[in-house]
Amino acid sequence: MHRGQWVSAARRVSAWLMVGHGRPVACLVMLVLAGWHMWLNDPAWGVLLDYYQRLFPRQEQHWPVVIVDIDEASIAALGQWPWPRTRLAALITATQQAGARAIGLDMILPEADRLSPDLILRERQDVSPMLRQALDTLPANDAILATVMQQAPLVVGRAALAEPTPSAIAVDEQTPVRLHGASPLPHVVPHNGHVTNIAMLERAAPGHGYLNARPDHDGVVRFMPLLVGMQDSIAPALALELARLAAGDAWYSVHTTASGIRGVQIGQRFIATDPDGRLRLYFAGEHERRRVSALAVLQGQATAAVLQDKIAIIGVTALGLAAVVTTPLAPRVDGVEVQAEALENMLSGARLIRPVAMRWWELGSFVVLALTLLVVLPWLRPGVSSVGLFLAGALLTLLGGVVAFLGWRIVCDPSLPVLGNVPVLVVMLTVGLRALHAELEKERLERSLRERELQVARDIQMGLLPAPWAITGLPEHLAFHALLEPAKEVGGDLYDAFMLDDTHFFFLVGDVVGKGVPAAFFMAISWLTDKSRPLYFSSRFLVLKHKSRLPTFGILLL
């Protein structure tokens, strides 16, 4: 790089510092996006991460959770839902006998069974008192179910509500929990009431878990809260309570720091969570190995390998009865599937991880790519090179996110580094295109002025030179012809011819070095000077001698 190039580069850097070529606007956009990113509680937009899960779903090998599916075939064979509690009790018993380690009910039974013997004929006035008395002596369906619940490792479902609700079960009757560190209540979603099962079933069940799965703002379920804040107490979700019962522990532990919840512990198993106590789910999708029909279980047709040493979740999936949610893998998924996915994530340790420092890494990637665009783009011509630089940076960021996802299940959202730099690119390209347009316009004006100058020079040149046929006084035996084609950028060619007297003819040919109007003016001066010399010198010898000092060549014909 020679001295002139160094000087030019220094001037461009100086112009960059003084003017900026749109950098102030781009920097302002960058600061606004960075502040917005840090202000959000969870900056992960989810759309791209959902695409990661669709491309690379979780690969489950052991399928430790089985859904006992009250499907359409079961409804068609055994009658409409809701079933009598006696049939539900039979299903729980059959599931336990098939070898299930723990059983969860993905349903809530808030009212007494209307098919119970003491209630089924309440509205009939034509029934004899003797029949009523006989029915009243039979045990209630709920009592039969409660007896089965007491003998099974069963977890019943509850639903947490934001507003207080009258309930037969006090909110402080929760599973025992050991707290390590600070209180987890400030970090979980608070609730003031809940919907429970009837008191008889609540007292009989060994475990109680909440079914709440809060979707994100776009309606997609990506998390499962393992802990629920219920007034002044902490309560487990259904998946956590099932894991506790399957492990045979009487309590679970919650580890909390000042910055949030680290995780929960069941026996020797530590389950890390997000700071708010939620599990970021890594979905495997629906699979036939995870389901068994309730009809097959009741009829004893389910093989021992299906439920042996597994955790079973009894849920309703029949059309029109199932609770349907949206997951990253599918727009319509049975809610019981999400409970099973959460439990599998806990047992296999396959949950997605988002470190607290990840938002700083995303912010750093965004700033690095933005600064690269701010520094490099002004040196590139707007167009393919500029967009190519942005696409290269975006591709590297996306590739890093994929590697982190596949290698360590780390959730790295490249939305900010990629999409956040689109406004920066647009600002820089807009300013660059405007500068390029101004430069091209300047070149066009300069070229137009130069062409006009050359045209003037040609006009001067051709306007001064005589036409060969316009020379008068030529003898009959003398013919004179001249051809001159002026070059595009040269205006200094000349010639002249005239009769000195009746017997002498003079002509000259000249060329002036240069171009444009200056060369044309110098040609005109030379032409006038050369033309006047033969007229003022009487000696032909002196004329030719003097001509040798001029920028033209003259010949005198005698």
Do 37 and 76 lie in one domain? The reply is no
Residues 398-422 as b/e (b if ≥16 CB within 10 A, e otherwise) read beebbebbeeebbbbbbbbbbebbe
Do 113 and 209 lie in one domain? The reply is yes
**CA–CA dist 280, 338 (Å, integer):** 12
pLDDT at 339: 97
pTM over 0.85: no
> Do 445 and 78 meet the contact criterion of CB atoms below 8 Å apart?
no
Do 128 and 8 lie in one domain? The reply is no
Do 34 and 80 lie in one domain? The reply is no
In the DSSP assignment, the letter for residue 326 is B
Identify the three-state secondary structure at position 24. helix
User: Shortest CA distance to 393 belongs to which of 366, 375, 413?
Assistant: 366
62 located within any domain: no
Do 196 and 279 lie in one domain? The reply is yes
Six-digit token pair at 290?
Answer: 């995870």
Which of the four pLDDT bands, split at 50, 70 and 90, describes residue 14?
very low
Please state, rounded to an integer, the average pLDDT across all residues of the chain: 81
Six-digit token pair at 522?
Answer: 């110098």
pLDDT at 425: 76
As beta bridge partners, residue 510 has: 494, 552
pLDDT of 553 higher than 50: no
Tell me the pLDDT tens digit for each residue of 405-417: 998 899 888 878 8
Rounded to an integer, the average pLDDT of 175-184 is: 94
Do 11 and 40 lie in one domain? The reply is yes
Tell me the pLDDT tens digit for each residue of 350-379: 999 988 788 888 888 888 888 888 778 777
395 located within any domain: yes
Do 304 and 360 lie in one domain? The reply is no
Angle at 466 between CA 460 and CA 468, to 5 degrees: 140
**CA–CA dist 132, 208 (Å, integer):** 35
Tell me the pLDDT tens digit for each residue of 62-93: 899 999 999 999 999 999 999 999 999 999 99
Tell me the pLDDT tens digit for each residue of 289-299: 999 999 999 99
> Do 490 and 522 meet the contact criterion of CB atoms below 8 Å apart?
no
Rounded to an integer, the average pLDDT of 98-104 is: 96
Residue 537: give the domain boundaries: 465-557
Rounded to an integer, the average pLDDT of 334-356 is: 93
Do 24 and 78 lie in one domain? The reply is no
- Cα separation values, 518 from 337, 451, 458, 490, 525, Å: 89, 14, 11, 10, 11
For 507, residues 6+ apart whose C-beta sits below 8 A from its C-beta are 480, 495, 496, 497, 498, 554, 555, 557
Strands of 12-94, DSSP E = 65-70
Which residue among 388, 405, 421 closes a domain? 421
Do 151 and 240 lie in one domain? The reply is yes
CB count within 10 Å of CB 216 equals: 14
63 located within any domain: no
Strands of 54-101, DSSP E = 65-70
pLDDT at 189: 92
pLDDT at 90: 97
Do 293 and 149 lie in one domain? The reply is yes
Strands of 267-379, DSSP E = 269-272, 278-280, 291-293, 311-316, 324-325, 333-334
User: Shortest CA distance to 58 belongs to which of 258, 361, 290, 298?
Assistant: 290
457 located within any domain: no
145 located within any domain: yes
259 located within any domain: yes
Do 223 and 106 lie in one domain? The reply is yes
Number of domains in the chain: 3
As beta bridge partners, residue 264 has: 254, 271
**CA–CA dist 337, 158 (Å, integer):** 17
What would the DSSP string read from start to end of 116-168?
Answer: SHHHHTTT-SSS-HHHHHHHHTSPPHHHHHHHHHHTS-EEEEEEEESS----S
Angle at 203 between CA 201 and CA 208, to 5 degrees: 80
Question: Which residue type does 116 have?
Answer: S
- Give the range among 42-51, 231-240, 341-350 with minimum mean pLDDT: 42-51
**CA–CA dist 192, 165 (Å, integer):** 8
36 located within any domain: yes
Which residue among 299, 315, 348 closes a domain? 348
Structure-token match 């979980």, residue found: 188
Q: What value does the CA radius of gyration of the chain take, rounded to a whole number of Å?
A: 47
Angle at 457 between CA 454 and CA 460, to 5 degrees: 155
> Do 160 and 194 meet the contact criterion of CB atoms below 8 Å apart?
yes
Rounded to an integer, the average pLDDT of 318-335 is: 90
Tell me the pLDDT tens digit for each residue of 259-297: 999 999 999 999 999 999 999 999 999 999 999 999 999
Q: What ranges in 465-509 are assigned the alpha helix state H?
A: none
Which residue among 319, 348, 377 closes a domain? 348
Do 263 and 367 lie in one domain? The reply is no
109 located within any domain: yes
